[in-house]
Amino acid sequence: MSVEREFQIAPIVQEAVVHNSRTLLNLQSLTASLFGVGAGILGLESYSGFLFYLVCSLLTAMLFYVVRVAPTSLASGTGTGGGGAFDTSRYFRSQVEFWTGGLMNGLAGFILTWTLFYGLVRA
Amino acid sequence: MAQVPVQTIHRDPQLFYWILLPITAVMILTGVLRHYATVLMASAPKKLDQKTTREQRALLRGINVRGNFHTLAKPSFDVRRDALTTAYESGAYLKSPENRGQAPPNPLSDPSSMEGMMGMMKNQMAMIIPNTLIMSWINAFFSGYVIMKLPFPLTIKFKSMLQAGVATKDMDPRWMSSISWYFLCIFGLQSVFNFLLGSDNAASQMAQQMGGMAPNAGQMFGPGVDPDKQFLAEAENLAVIEHYSVLDGVEQRLLEGIKV
């Protein structure tokens, strides 16, 4: 069966997709600013700061998956996608966007608060 | 190898209260102001008369029938296609049937199109004017101060950008002046605005530029487009559809889905 017909049988509602990704974006930008506060207060510099950001945002995505996405996805047989664990296709179209989108979306906010609190606390 | 000693600069703590805080507060308040100015300046969509509305809705109906034909049964789709095609080709839905076949009016002479351009101009102005004002304000009051140190090292190329107005040759490019704090605020405050104003705010100029690139939905009925040509094209689109229903073979799919 062609992809087009599959979408016609199980259509994707655009509003729901937008709502889901907007919720994710809000979480990402808010937590990125808070990570910046944390990194600034800890006084992290250069690589360790960016590493802190990488680990923390991956951890956020992981928690988001465990708390919000996984229970319903696993209960319903992971929606339309066929994957096992770590499959977010029930709520998000792109897996990459879910797991690493926060890195790009929150980076500017992270650097702003990191600089601010580093400047206030250390330098 | 000798270690390069870390530069330390003793700065007056008052710099924080008199430079950092005002710039940040002004940036946040400008974002809020820009959001509400955009909300207030947004002109309500103009009321269209009955004929124009009918023309636009008829075209939209054709597009919707074309897009969702798979949910219709074969006879009902055929009836709809026949009715729409006949009406399109006879020009029954046109606003002014006597103008058929004439060239569309020049979009620049049409007063309704001027309003659309004015709206775009207003948005551009709401973005440019505050930015220019704030930048010249920072340059006039706060240039020449070193206020903060970046937590990550940068190459020497950034020095002229970050330390504009500070003419010190040997200073580490990590030290930044007030104008670079302004740039950081421009890029980084989006999350603050998300938090304060909701996520579809108009505060950030970044989001506005992104929105400007997306194709405008109102373009379809814009001035200078001949509705008669649109109708004929839509009739052709409807004619070439090869109809099938989404319910074709549904029994088969149902039986496959049942696991005993």
Cα dihedral B90→B93→B99→B100 (10° resolution)? -30
Task: Examine the pLDDT at B179 and tell me if it is beyond 70.
Answer: yes
Structure pTM?
0.72
Which range of A35-44, A88-97, B147-156, B206-215 scores highest in mean pLDDT? It is A35-44
Tell me the pLDDT tens digit for each residue of B25-55.
988 888 888 888 878 877 777 777 888 888 8
Contacts of A20 (CB under 8 A, 6+ apart): A91, A92
Strand partners, B175: B149
Tell me the pLDDT tens digit for each residue of B51-87.
888 888 888 888 888 888 888 888 888 898 888 888 8
pLDDT, residue B112, reads 61
Residue A27: φ, ψ to 5°: -60, -45
Task: Examine the pLDDT at A122 and tell me if it is beyond 80.
Answer: no
pLDDT, residue A108, reads 85
Task: Examine the pLDDT at A29 and tell me if it is beyond 80.
Answer: yes
pLDDT, residue B215, reads 42
Mean pLDDT of the residues in chain A: 80
Average pLDDT over residues B148-163: 78
Average pLDDT over residues B104-119: 63
Instruction: Determine the Cα–Cα distance for residues B147 and B171; give it in Å rounded to an integer.
Output: 13
Domain ranges (residues) in chain A: 15-121
pLDDT, residue A79, reads 47
Instruction: Determine the Cα–Cα distance for residues B206 and B208; give it in Å rounded to an integer.
Output: 5
Provide the shortest C-alpha distance from residue A30 to chain B (in Å).
Answer: 6
Cβ pair A26:B194 closer than 8 A: yes
Q: Does A120 touch chain B (CB under 8 A)?
A: yes
pLDDT band at B107 (very low <50, low <70, confident <90, very high): low
Tell me the chain A residues in contact with residue B191 when contact means C-beta distances shorter than 8 Å. Answer: 29-30, 32-33, 106, 109
Provide the shortest C-alpha distance from residue A88 to chain B (in Å).
Answer: 22
pLDDT band at B145 (very low <50, low <70, confident <90, very high): confident
Which range of A57-61, A91-95, B39-43, B120-124 scores highest in mean pLDDT? It is A57-61
pLDDT band at B4 (very low <50, low <70, confident <90, very high): low
Tell me the chain B residues in contact with residue A110 when contact means C-beta distances shorter than 8 Å. Answer: 188
Cβ pair A119:B152 closer than 8 A: no
ipTM tops 0.90: no
Domain ranges (residues) in chain B: 14-95+111-241
Tell me the chain B residues in contact with residue A113 when contact means C-beta distances shorter than 8 Å. Answer: 188
Measure CB to CB from residue A112 to each of B152, B188, B194 and give the nearest one.
B188
